[in-house]
Amino acid sequence: MTMYISATLKELTRKRVFMVTLILTVLFLLLFGVGLHELTGMTEQEPNHAAKKLMDSMLFMVLGLFFAQFLASFFVLFSTMGTVTGEQENGLLLAVAARPLPRWKLYLAKWLGHAVWIAAYSAVLFVAMVWIVHGATGFHLFAGDLLRSFVLFLWMPLLLLTLSMLGSVYLPMLGNGICAALLYGLALFSGLIEGISSEGGTHPGLEKFVLLTGLILPTDSVYRRSLYELMGGSDWAGLTGTYMGPFSVPSVPSNAFLLYTVVYAALLLYLGCRAFDRKDL
């Protein structure tokens, strides 16, 4: 099984999307760092510098991690949307599945191989973004908060990976990519709408919509809990709701919801292994 995990890692590095993603990520980090340096230089000359600097630092951190999770998610989508059906169409899957290894182990090995690269990419992205914002603004971070946020930030793309691989068993490559992207976009949209509407009080209909989308694909909820932990776990969302608008965190996912995401991922992974074991190659 270790051989199949290693083969998945090598296969992913040979894809052009991997190199394109790395190049664009480095370019994004450079542009973000330069732009942030210029913006922080401008705010130092304004009145109420200390208070405004704190608010701006929080905003820059939230915006940076928002685009970071966006990059991580699309790296997952473009690298895994044809994991099963794509290899089935070009005949590679048939040659691999002919070896004496249970199919569910092959599926699990593919998931683990992609998970290693996705987790590594997300980890580098998170550390680089936090380091850039901290270096430019001096935003104070605690080690415990940073570690909890880091773990949740890595967990978010792994949830999307599990969903995308399950879809690749049933749907053609392009259809799976569109379906997974739409579900991810819906979850992201519901979180932004919740942030915008938080200034007007609670809306039962909106709360049900956000809960439903969070249950279908909990990526955005995990990302917002990651932000909450990074900011110290305090009720900073109420303080900065009007300042951050759609990027605020009006409602924080509970620990019970995080447990649900673990069950969610385990169930999708089980369904994927079972479906792949029965798939006609």
pLDDT of residue 184: 93
Separation in Å, CA 232 to CA 144, 235, 270: 9, 9, 35
pLDDT under 50 in the chain at which residues? 237-238, 240-242
pLDDT at 100: 64
- Token pair of 239, please? 């303080």
258/221 Cα distance (integer angstroms): 9
Please check whether residue 230 is in contact with residue 146, taking contact to mean a CB–CB distance below 8 angstroms.
yes
Return the closest-CA partner of residue 195 out of 217, 216, 224, 226.
Answer: 224
Q: Residue 149: what pLDDT? A: 92
CA angle 116, 117, 123 (to 5 degrees): 90
166-181: string of b/e by CB count within 10 Å (b at 16+)?
bbbbebbbeebbebbb
pLDDT of residue 51: 62
Per-residue model confidence (pLDDT) at position 156: 95
